[in-house]
Amino acid sequence: MLRRLWQLIRGSEPTAPLNMQTGSPFYPPHPANVPGPFYVEGGCCLACGVPEDIAPDLFGWVEGDMHCYVKRQPETPKELDRMREAMCSSEVDCIRARSCSPEFLLDLARAGHAHLVDTPS
Ligand code: SF4
């Protein structure tokens, strides 16, 4: 269901480099992210400060690399709300979801940020 919804919302594939194994667009995650559905794309940081302001309990900061990362995955509806707010507020679209619920995707789409969800497999 998520893939069909994603295709309806997106219409066409994004232009990221393709993962040679899956054939889907690939956004390389920063290595400091904890495992889970949400991640920060590596190598794109402008030190926007958005995650610190919105969800300091979910995001950490790598001093040596000057880069934020997901230090804890959201577990509650309020934490998911703040994750979505951080995704929609980041200046360079670098907070992404590998997967999410259809409801979360629809909320992102309403805010004009459905492109932050990776292509569902
Ligand atoms: S959201 Fe993006 S630009 Fe902002 S601090 Fe994190 S990696 Fe840097």
Q: pLDDT tens across 2-25, in order? A: 777 777 776 655 556 666 666 666
User: Which domains occur in the chain, in start order?
Assistant: 1-9+43-121 (3.30.70)
Give yes or no for residue 121 having a pLDDT over 90: no
Question: Quick one: which of 77, 74, 36 has its CA closest to 57?
Answer: 74
CA distances from 51 to 58, 65, 93 (A): 8, 16, 12
pLDDT at residue 27, rounded to an integer: 87
Q: What is the CA radius of gyration of the chain?
A: 14
Give residue-wise pLDDT tens across range 82-103: 999 999 999 889 999 998 999 9
Best probe residue, ligand 1, of 27, 30, 41, 45 (max atoms within 8 Å of C-beta): 45
pLDDT at residue 4, rounded to an integer: 73
**Is the overall model pTM greater than 0.75, yes or no?**
yes
